[in-house]
């Protein structure tokens, strides 16, 4: 297993099991050194809580970057998630362009929509800025809602392979090299992940757990990045991330009080076991 240095840029939701509070433990469990830039600090995530605090850390980003550049710090992977503002996207481009080693893998999780709707703080201007970030990424990790907003294709709950291919082709036209599209299910009881890489399409289908849980996109993305860096195997990493996400939902689904996230900690032994076998 390779020991790599990863930079992840996303918010700190102080309570709510998403973004950095999920990415750090998962990447650590995958055996990765993890450095962070918090994009914002919120009291909770924005999915179901009201009255959350929001401290935008946009202005800190270039200062942190400048310090690291003086220190000569470079990363084997840079993985971005929920960002705090449209202005941040310009700073993120500069980080993706300058802060990686020659082998650096750049992963962008657009993290701005679900269920066909934008998350509360985002708007069309943010979507447009995120579109312009696509060419800077090696791997884009959207769900179907984000793929729809980015490509301008209508959001559908039911679809066929042709529709999914139109999303993938639209993302490729935006400059995405590799796309890992999550939450793609063609038949009842199953969902899956479509992996488009260098003109080749693969699909990993797995059991669909009835309950949808907040934060699973972040669990998926963090696990995918950790497993990819650890193994160098794209399809296996996409599949492992899906299986671990299912385990996390299973650990949570019988507890109605735990509506705001998944009990991913309880499934970390499963993740560590799988990572060692990949
Ligand atoms: O899980 C994505 C996410 C991350 N961070 C914040 C969020 C959300 C989704 O709603 O609100 C603050």
List pLDDT tens digits, range 38-86: 999 999 999 999 999 999 999 999 999 999 999 999 999 999 999 989 9
Which of 46, 54, 57, 81 has most ligand 1 atoms within 8 Å of CB, for mutation?
46
Centroid of ligand 1 to alpha carbon of 221 (angstroms) = 13
With a pLDDT cut of 90, the percent of the chain lying above it is: 97
Pick the atom of ligand 1 nearest to 13's CA: 12
Instruction: Describe the chain by its helix, strand, coil percentages, rounded to 5.
Output: 40, 25, 35
Residue 212: predicted pLDDT? 84
Kind plus residue range of the DSSP H or E element containing 259: none
Q: How confident is the model at residue 255 (pLDDT cuts 50, 70, 90)?
A: very high
Cα 210 to chain centroid distance, Å, stands at 21
**What is the distance in A from the centroid of ligand 1 to the CA of 35?**
19
State how far the Cα of 214 lies from the Cα of 184, in Å rounded to an integer.
17
Distance CA 55, CA 242 (A): 32
Q: What are phi and psi of 230, to 5 degrees?
A: -70, -40
Identify which of 185, 198, 180 has the alpha carbon closest to the alpha carbon of residue 142: 180
Q: Write down the pTM of the prediction.
A: 0.98
Give strand pairing partners of 94: none
Would you state the pLDDT for residue 210? 79
Measured in Å, residue 141 CA sits from the centre of ligand 1 at 15
Q: What atom of ligand 1 comes closest to residue 119's alpha carbon?
A: 10
What is the Cα–Cα distance from 93 to 135, expressed in whole angstroms? 10
Q: Mean of the per-residue pLDDT values for the chain?
A: 97
Residue with CA at minimum distance from ligand 1 atom 6: 45
Which residues, in sequence order, are CB contacts of 113 under 8 Å at separation 6+? 119, 122, 143, 145, 146, 148, 149
* Atom number, ligand 1, closest to the C-alpha of residue 18: 1
Report the nearest atom of ligand 1 relative to the CA of 121. 11
Strand order in the sheet with 190-197: 54-56, 33-44, 5-15, 75-80, 100-108, 139-140, 178-182, 190-197, 200-207
Ligand 1 geometric centre to CA of 262 (Å)? 13
Q: What is the pLDDT of residues 131-152, one digit of tens each?
A: 999 999 999 999 999 999 999 9
Alpha-carbon distance 41 to 200, whole Å? Answer: 39
Residues with CB under 6 A from ligand 1: 11, 13, 18-19, 42, 45-47, 82, 111, 119, 215, 217-218
pLDDT of residue 211: 80
């Amino acid at each position: 297993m390779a020991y790599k240095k990863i930079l992840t840029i996303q918010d700190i939701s102080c309570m709510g099991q998403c973004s950095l509070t999920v990415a750090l433990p998962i990447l650590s469990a995958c055996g990765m050194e993890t450095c962070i830039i918090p994009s914002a600090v919120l009291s909770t995530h924005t999915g179901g809580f009201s009255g959350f605090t929001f401290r935008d850390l946009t202005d800190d980003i270039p200062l942190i970057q400048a310090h690291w550049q003086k220190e000569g710090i470079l990363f084997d992977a840079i993985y971005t998630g929920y960002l705090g503002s449209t202005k941040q996207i310009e700073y993120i481009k500069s980080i993706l362009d300058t802060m990686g080693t020659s082998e650096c893998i750049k992963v962008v999780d657009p993290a701005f929509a679900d269920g066909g709707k934008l998350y509360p703080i985002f708007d069309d201007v943010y979507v447009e800025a995120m579109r312009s970030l696509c060419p800077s990424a090696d791997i884009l990790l959207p769900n179907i809602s984000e793929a729809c907003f980015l490509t301008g294709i209508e959001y559908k709950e039911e679809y066929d392979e042709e529709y999914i291919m139109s999303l993938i082709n639209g993302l490729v036209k935006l400059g995405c090299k590799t796309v890992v599209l999550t939450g793609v299910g063609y038949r009842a009881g199953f969902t899956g992940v479509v992996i488009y890489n260098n003109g080749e399409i693969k699909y990993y289908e797995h059991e669909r757990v009835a309950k949808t849980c907040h934060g699973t996109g972040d669990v998926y993305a963090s696990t995918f990045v950790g497993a990819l860096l650890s193994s160098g195997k794209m399809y296996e990493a996409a599949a492992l991330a899906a299986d671990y996400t299912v385990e996390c939902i299973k650990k949570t689904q019988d507890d109605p009080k735990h509506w705001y996230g998944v009990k991913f900690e309880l499934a970390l032994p499963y993740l560590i076991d799988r990572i060692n076998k990949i």
